[in-house]
Structure 1
């Protein structure tokens, strides 16, 4: 069962008052920044970028979150719907209760039938005891974080939730090999919840995963999807600040991520990458008007025009980069990357502009095939997380394409 760590949406308050929670996903949901958490692109030649998992960048107040459009739910007729009050109460309950899915309090099991049926592509239970045991296992083994995006009524006695679940192998916290093996599986999907009209309790909970087409129990496709995330050897440097993001949709070949805004340092487009990298690294090393040293970050971002950008931690940049010293080199400027939703494809190997352009073209075609609209016809970014000293098969590279419109449902 894939359930997710928790970010309960403030629209629960609207639901508890009988309001319509299916509004645009806004700053009320908690995304991660181009850590991205599918949550952030350039040649990373510095040894400093060789350390493990990046820390979450704490966004400043200006870092507003991007909205993802949500289609309107099935609106029941107040004059002919005998289950209107029942389903409004069930929806309000889910908004509040799912906040505790994986915490010490846990869910309110009294709202579930003893014979509740649960299934997802890799697990299946037909009792409340099995249902609760599965939640406990996930909490202990995978330290999940659940992000509830929205709830809509999809049938007379049916509610469907849309969520993201981030996971981390709990044992890996004490694993001396963590710098080289630290997978963080992500699942997105829906939960179809059916209510017993006689008791008002949930009698069925069916999970679907966005990344698989065969949703049947123990589907080989689902097992492969899980294994591909748990067994990955790609490395993300540890202890380095990185932009934050939240994965809104996890697909086999790409992710849709909601990035928060961040401050960066940028060189002019067209400059040789090696030279651009040395200038930016020099700024972080103290070659600025105050001789101030800043922490190294990841990834290094390059774009289709040849420009290079370093991410700056929010604590060091201040509001809109106001705390940053002036660059000694006039070709370096402070920039602000706004909140945005991006399609992201990850790959290994030694990345360069030519390979990135090909990967971006492939991603653009896939996004269009799946009904997503790129912001323009050509722009892309390459994110490189690792030092050139890291073997190619262990490197984490990504191409990112901004989307002009994304619907959560």
Structure 2
């Protein structure tokens, strides 16, 4: 989808008149950091994240709860800013326009028109005292010069496009009259009301049952493919993104620890945390009643992050260096696969590290290595 020549930024100039973005790059985040200052101290929720969403692609951001995915998404959208106990830094650029330089009114011209967001919980994403039709047309009337009648016709069309039956009746209903899956379809319709070029989907199936989850994810994949928009899909489930993404960025403790094209990541993960996430997914085929693999231990306390690799106390490959030095995000020879690990999977030094740890008492199942043994 080509950028519109009519879209305006908050600075009073067209988005396409701004500084051009890198070829095929739609959204770029550079060294994004978010800290929440609490009575207990500063929480390093997002710690130096850099990523790019390209035109028309699906980038999946994956990680367990507490890894910083939602905070990152809200910062990319511009919903988290500095002040009132929140410290932010880094830049977010959309199609040549630096979003982190815009104020509230400026961002509101981009929200919904260029970038749309689907939140986690469909039960709380909608206004309970407004009819469905009014909530969809609100965004249409804000960004388009159309009549209320035309906006309502567009709302009916959107509800039909997301698979809701009897859309003419649904626009007159209130959120409490719909099921969870139906409400999520409404939030998707609202997000697509102005044909955005980028959709941020933050765990869009969290509160839904398994069968409805699959329906919503298939719907998003179909809409993304037909409309040609880019999408950032946030999830904790690697199964969700294996067939629904072009690239994957794995987050842990506020950092990107591995990023690669989806096929490459599943074929040859380099970061032990990525391998642990894959092993934690129960197989579709195989014997029943098999004990599931779990990642031992707990994520680090983001009030006081450890000095070395944030995964070191849970990693079966960890050595002394891992406990004291934080590895940088480095690329493999292909250039589009990067990871944070001193002893990556598939390398001679990685296999040697794992073998040494097993000899010291760690197990092949991935139990964490005792720090005294590592430091000895």
TM-score bracket relative to the smaller structure: 0.3 to 0.5
Greater RCO, 1 or 2 (C-alpha within 8 Å, sep 6+): 1
> TM-score, structure 2 length as denominator?
0.32
Greater strand content: 1
Structure 1 or 2: more helix by fraction:
2
Q: What TM-score do you get using the length of structure 1 for normalisation?
A: 0.30
